[in-house]
Amino acid sequence: MPSIKIVTIVGARPQFIKAAVVSRAIAGRNQGVAENFEPINEIIVHTGQHYDRNMSDVFFEEMQIPRPDYFLDIHEQSHAAMTGRMLEKIEEVLIKEKPDFVLVYGDTNTTLAGALAAAKIHLKVAHVEAGLRSFNRQMPEEINRVLTDHVADILFCPTRQAVDNLTVEGIGLNDSARSDRSESKADGYRPSVELAGDVMFDAALYYQKFSRKPQIDLPGEFVLSTIHRAENTDNLARLKSIFGGFQKIAKTLPIVLPLHPRTKKTLQNQNIEIIDSNIRIIDPVSYLEIIYLLEKCALVMTDSGGLQKEAFFFKKPCITLRDETEWVELVDNGVNVLAGADSGKIYDLCMEAMSKEYDFDLDLYGKGDAGERIVRILTDMA
């Protein structure tokens, strides 16, 4: 029987979580496929961008993601070198596999390399988590997501705001609006914008029942924090200011900080030692462990995109250690607040959050069926 072939391209930690949801939906669909329907054959390519056991393997194991069919082993280089090597290797795989769709996730160098390699050889690109914008081109992620969206054929948006962002850029306009804007329609390029919901919401709902305590002593009440964005780790003044805020908070409230290798390297290279016993620096944790920490924490302080939403899924307020966010609906609804890297603001907002009431009863990220919707749309388009 013929099958629909999808090449999934992942490489960084948040992509493993998102791909787990869609892979599970593919497996579910294949099980229920009636006689005359085509099953989906998913080929997984891991670029190697994240390669430590606790940044990669553990996600495949505990989220039961099928083993990658290709591991490209590309990491630890400048952005151009990393993206360039990925382009070359991904193109080889795509030429060999000739898939019906190439599925990319999020906004990393892996995302851009996968989308561009596919688009250049006229394969259909589907982008999961399309349409997000920070409007800050200093961020490598913003460049990656804008370029990926502009070569993608199918754009799976997690939020209404993401759909609106694409509309402003002329993506997803209907044909008559497009013909007013473009000189020629001869290229046949008709991107399809789909409001699918957020696959990370699906993941939180499904994996919650498997949450697991990390092997550490946990304080009764604590703040959960992560820091890894280049804008914070590669700017020493910002990083020191964030830790300045943390030190003030830690006098009354312990902070649990699973440290990303990028941040660890910066602290080591700059000889910065965090000796406050109330700032518990631990190795990166697995997805099931971060869910446990999210369930138990009092609030979240982070510069991660994913964790901002996960705080919301687990009904915890979030202080975002950035000057802007792509997840504006969280800020608009008062459950997330931007502190930037200002130590005084971080402290004040944290204290305020501890005594505030929040309404988490909001429908922002779909119904928890984004994975199934994505698979259904792809099969309908095949």
Which residues participate in catalysis according to the annotation? Answer: 228
Closest to ligand UD1 by CB, 219 or 261? 261
Calpha distance 300→178 (Å, rounded): 42
Calpha distance 150→180 (Å, rounded): 18
Minimum separation from the CB atom of position 50 to ligand UD1 (A): 4
The 3-class SS string of 226-253 reads ECCCHHHHCCHHHHHHHHHHHHHHCCCC
Closest to ligand UD1 by CB, 82 or 335? 82
Angle separating helix axes 343-354 and 236-249, nearest 10 degrees: 30
Nearest residue (beta carbon) to ligand UD1: 108
Give which of 366, 218, 189, 194 is closest to 290, Cα–Cα: 218
Minimum separation from the CB atom of position 112 to ligand UD1 (A): 8
Cβ proximity of 20 and 14 under 8 Å: no
Cβ proximity of 273 and 244 under 8 Å: no
Cβ proximity of 144 and 107 under 8 Å: yes
Closest to ligand UD1 by CB, 75 or 127? 75
Tell me which residues touch ligand UD1 (CB under 6 A).
12-14, 49-52, 55, 75-76, 107-109, 140-141, 228, 260-262, 265
Q: How many CB atoms lie within 10 A of CB 208?
A: 15
Closest to ligand UD1 by CB, 16 or 347? 16
Minimum separation from the CB atom of position 312 to ligand UD1 (A): 18
Minimum separation from the CB atom of position 83 to ligand UD1 (A): 9
Minimum separation from the CB atom of position 234 to ligand UD1 (A): 9
Closest to ligand UD1 by CB, 12 or 200? 12
Q: Alpha helix locations (H) across the chain? A: 13-32, 57-62, 79-97, 109-120, 140-151, 160-168, 175-181, 199-207, 230-233, 236-249, 261-269, 287-296, 305-313, 328-332, 343-354, 370-381
